[in-house]
Amino acid sequence: MSNLSHTLLIALVAASAPSATAQGDIITVGSTGDVTDVQSAIDLAVDGDHIVILESLIGTPTINGKSLTISGIDDTIALLSFGLFTLSGPALTIQNLAADQSVVVRQLTLDIQIVDPIPSLHIQDCAGPVHIEDCTIAGFNGAAITVEDCDAVSIASCSVTAGVAFDQGDVTPEYFPQAGLSAGDSRVSAYDSVFTGSSGPDASQIIFGPVVQPAPGGPGFVARENSVVYLSECTVTGGAGGSAGEGDLCFDGQDGGAGLVVDDFGAGSIVRLRNTGGGGGAGGTVPASCAGNPGSAGAPIEAAPGTVQALGDAARSLTTTSFVTEGDSVDLSFSVATGDFVSLLLGSDLGASLYLPASQLTLNLGLPLITIPLTTAPSEDPLEISITVPTLPIGFDVVDVPLQGLIIDTAMTPLATGPSVVTIYSAAGAP
C-alpha cells in the first residue's frame, strides 16, 4: 500500500469512527430501488444513511432533523416539483438540523414547475452543516434557493438560476423579481458556482387574456438580516429587465437586477468576495416606434447598509469524483498556479464556515483535521491527482469523506479551495 493510500485509510477511520453521521446504510430510490419515492426513503432513513436516487422523480421531499447524504446515481438525475395553480412545495426542503447533524446533496438537478412563488431548494433552521455540490438548481416562479436561519451552508460547483414569480390571483399577472439565492440570518459559503437572478418578462399579449407588462430583473444573490457570506470564484449576475413592444405593448423598459444585494432590508450583513465577478442584468429595450424609456442596467453590487469586502483575485478550486468503490481511484482536479504547494485537508465531518481573518481563509470542515501533503504544481494547467481508495474497515458499507484543498502559493499566501464530499462504498454496498 502506498504512503498516500495508507494515510487515506487512517483518515477514513478517523473521520468515520467517532461519528454516527459518517457511515450508515444505503437506500436506493426508483422503480428498481428499495423504495419508489424520495420521501419514503427519508422517512425510512436514520442518521448516517445514504439515499441514492436511480431515476428522475416528481415530489416535494423534506429532510427534517436527520443526518443524510442524498445523491443521484449519475449527473442526469432530477427531482421535480410539479403543480398547476395549487400550492405545492420545493423540490427539496432541508430543515431543523441539530448542531451535530449534517446533510449532503450531490449530483442532482432540482427543478420546479409550479405557479406558486416558492423556491426549488429551501433550507431553514439548521444549526448543523448543509453541503450542496455538483447540482443544477432552477426556479420557475420563484427563487432557486432560499436559506433562512442556518449556521453553515456550503455550495460548490453549482448552477443556480431563479425564475420569475407572479401573482396568479390577479386578472392581470403582476411579476416580481426573484433572487438566484436569498439568505436571511445565515452563514453561507459558495465556491465555483454561478448565481443568476430572474429575467423580467417582456411585454406580451396572453391569448384570450390580458396584456403582460414588462417587469424588472431579479438579483443574482441576496444577503440580508445579518447574514455572513463568502463567495470564491463565483459568478453573480442579475437578470435582465423586460423589454417593451409596439402598439398596445408599448411601455417603459424595465431595469435589470443587481448582481449582489447586501441587506435589501435590515442591517449587519457582510459578504466577502474572492475572485468573484458577474454584474447587473441588462436593462429592457424599447423599440423606436414606442415612446417609452429603456430600462437601466442593474448595479453589480448594492451594499447599503451591508458590507462587502474584496479579498483579492487569488483563488484556487477543487473538483472531485462524486463517489467511488473501495479499490478504485478518487480523482482530484485542482486549479493552480505554477509553484503552488498543494495539500489536502480531511475533516471528521463538515463544519461551520470558519473565517480566519489573519490569513483570509474560510474553512468548512469539522475538527480534527488531517493534512495530506500532495505535490508542487509544475504549471498553471489543472493539476490532476488520483488516489487509490483502500478497503474500508470491517462493518463499513459506505463512508463520506469531507475534504478541502489547502494551497500555499509562491508568495507564501495560504489559499483554500471549496469543500467537497466524496462518498466511498464497499464492494458489497455499492449501488
Q: In terms of residues, how long is the chain?
A: 431
Q: Give mean pLDDT, residues 69-84.
A: 81
- Residue closest to 297 by CA, chosen among 245, 262, 259: 259
Q: For residue 367, give the C-alpha cell.
A: 475538527
Distance CA 61, CA 43 (A): 10
Other CB atoms within a 10 A radius of the CB of residue 370 amount to 18
> What torsion, rounded to 10 degrees, do the Cα atoms 76, 80, 84, 90 define?
-150
Phi/psi zone of residue 336: left (φ > 0), alpha (ψ -120 to 50 degrees), beta? beta
* φ and ψ at residue 7, rounded to 5 degrees: -65, -40
Interval 302-312 mean pLDDT: 86
In the chain, CATH 2.60.40.1930 sits at 317-425
Give the mean pLDDT of 173-202.
92
pLDDT class for 17, splitting at 50, 70, 90? very low
If one compares 174 and 234, the residue with the highest pLDDT of the two is 234
Asked whether the predicted pLDDT for residue 205 surpasses 90, the reply is: no
- Residue ranges, comma separated, of all CATH 2.160.20 domains in the chain are 30-310
Q: What average pLDDT does the chain have?
A: 87
How is the beta sheet containing 103-106 ordered, strand by strand?
26-29, 49-53, 68-72, 103-106, 130-133, 153-156, 187-191, 228-232, 270-274, 307-310
The band of 19, judged by pLDDT with boundaries at 50, 70 and 90, is very low
pLDDT band, very low/low/confident/very high, at 355 (cuts 50, 70, 90): confident
User: Quick check: 389 pLDDT over 90?
Assistant: no
Q: Tell me the DSSP string of 142-163.
A: S-SEEEEEES-EEEES-EEE--
What would be the CATH architecture of the domain defined by 30-310?
3 Solenoid (2.160)
pLDDT of residue 16: 47
**215-225 confidence digits (pLDDT tens):** 999 999 999 98
- pTM of this prediction? 0.93
pLDDT confidence band for 20 (50 / 70 / 90): very low
Averaged pLDDT for residues 166-185: 78
Instruction: Report whether pLDDT(84) > 60.
Output: no
Mean pLDDT of 200-208: 84
Q: Is the pLDDT of residue 191 over 50?
A: yes
pLDDT band at 251; cut points 50, 70, 90: very high
- pLDDT tens, 93-143? 999 999 999 999 999 999 887 767 789 999 999 999 999 999 999 988 789
Domain 317-425 maps to which CATH number in 3.30.470.30, 1.10.275.10, 3.40.50.1580, 2.60.40.1930?
A: 2.60.40.1930
Residue 170's pLDDT is: 53
What proportion of the chain, given as a percentage, has pLDDT over 70? Answer: 90
pLDDT at 5 over 90: no
Overall average pLDDT of the 149-175 stretch: 81
pLDDT at 248: 87
